[in-house]
Structures are given as structure tokens and as C-alpha cells.
Amino acid sequence: MLSQRLRVDFYEQTPEIVAKELLGKVLVYKKSDDIIAGIIVETEAYLHSGDESSHSFKGLNSRNEAMFMRGGTFYVYLIYGVHHCVNIVTQKQGYGSAVLIRAVEPIAGIEVMIANRRNNNIPELCKGPGNLAKSFGFDLSNNKNSLLSDDLFVCDLNLYTDSAIAIGTRIGITKSAELPLRFYLDGNLYVSKISK
């Protein structure tokens, strides 16, 4: 499993394509002697233009610099001064587009996740972007990391068909809220919020 990694050309696609095609693939993080991994079950795309909720909408700044790097870069930021959110940068360098990883289904390193979250409810461990980051142990030190490295990558698996994928509007935003840029595995227990 660990050898079938996504290549840079996958990440250089538009965020809508990457967000949809990441579903069913496996996010892997090697930290010290631990391997932490989960199946990606929910994502949100953030566009480089015409998307007022995207951090890149007003241009490059010190906070969003990673978002303008080459596709396959990790963009990590802190929200509400409490929770970290992890994103995968898409397209070529300079575009300013990314995909937020909202939820994963834990498959490896679950004991580490439980310790990090201080919660042994497995379906809740990585449900929501803040919980996901805490479970994996991601923080601002991971900002600008490459997903082409030996300790952070996504495995190229096709565990689900297009018929399993649902599309809706993004969660918790007020600007450009009507855009159908949230992708998730319909009915999956580990998705952060089930649309009505």
C-alpha cells in the first residue's frame, strides 16, 4: 500500500477534480516510529478565483503563502486560535487553490489517534478538520510540507466508484456558500456532517 503514492501531476489538477478524486485514497503520515493513516471520506475545494471563501481570494500574504506553492504541498492553518486545518495545494505554483481534508476513516495508528484526541470513539476521531489534524498530530510545523515525501503522502487507491460520491455545499462558510464544492462518500459513518 505504501508504495502506490500519488504523483505531482495528480495534485496539479484543478481543486474540484482533486477534491473528488481524493475520496477513497489513503492519507499516510509517518511520525517517529508510528504510521498514522486513514481513508479520505470528505473534502472541500477552494478555488483560485471567484471564490470569496478561499484564503487566496485577496491575494498572497504571510498566512496563505503555502497555498500559492506547487500542487502537492501541505497548507496548514489555525482557526479560532484553537484548531488546525490541513489542506492539499493544487494546480501549478502561483495559483492559490487547495483542497481541505474534512474527514478520514482511521485505518492505522488508531492507538496514537486515541491518545492524541483523548477519545476512544473511533468514528469520531477524524470527523471534522480540527479533529482530523489533532488525531494525526498535524500542526503549523507541517505547513509547507511536501506530499511527495517519505513521511507524508497519499496512496493511490480506488476504493469507491463515482456512484458512492455525493456533492454539496461547503460547511461553515458565508461567502460563496452556494458553490457545490464539498465532496463526500454518501452514507459513510466517518463523514463529518451528513447533508439532509
Q: How far apart are CA 28 and CA 91, in angstroms?
A: 21
CA distances (Å), 78 to each of 6, 26, 87, 195, in order?
26, 23, 12, 26
Residue 120's φ and ψ, nearest 5 degrees, are -105, 15
Q: What pLDDT, on the 0 to 100 scale, is given for residue 196? A: 46
The amino acid at residue 29 is: Y
Q: What pLDDT, on the 0 to 100 scale, is given for residue 76? A: 97
Residues in the chain: 196
Number of H helices, E strands in the chain: 4, 8
Q: How far apart are CA 129 and CA 101, in angstroms?
A: 6
Q: What pLDDT, on the 0 to 100 scale, is given for residue 1? A: 46
* Domain ranges within the chain, ordered by starting residue: 8-185
Q: What pLDDT, on the 0 to 100 scale, is given for residue 35? A: 96
Q: Tens-of-pLDDT digits for all 196 residues of the chain? A: 455 899 999 999 999 999 999 999 999 999 989 999 999 999 999 999 898 889 998 888 888 999 999 999 999 999 877 899 999 999 999 999 999 999 999 999 999 999 999 999 999 999 999 999 999 999 999 999 999 999 999 998 877 777 899 999 999 899 999 999 999 999 999 999 765 4
Apex 131 CA angle, 125 and 136, nearest 5: 75
Apex 165 CA angle, 164 and 166, nearest 5: 120
Q: Residue 100: name the closest of 124, 74, 81 by CA.
A: 74
The CATH number corresponding to 8-185 among 3.40.640.10, 1.25.40.10, 3.40.50.300, 3.10.300.10 equals 3.10.300.10
What is the CB-side half-sphere exposure of residue 167 using CA atoms within 13 A? 12
Q: How far apart are CA 147 and CA 3, in angstroms?
A: 13
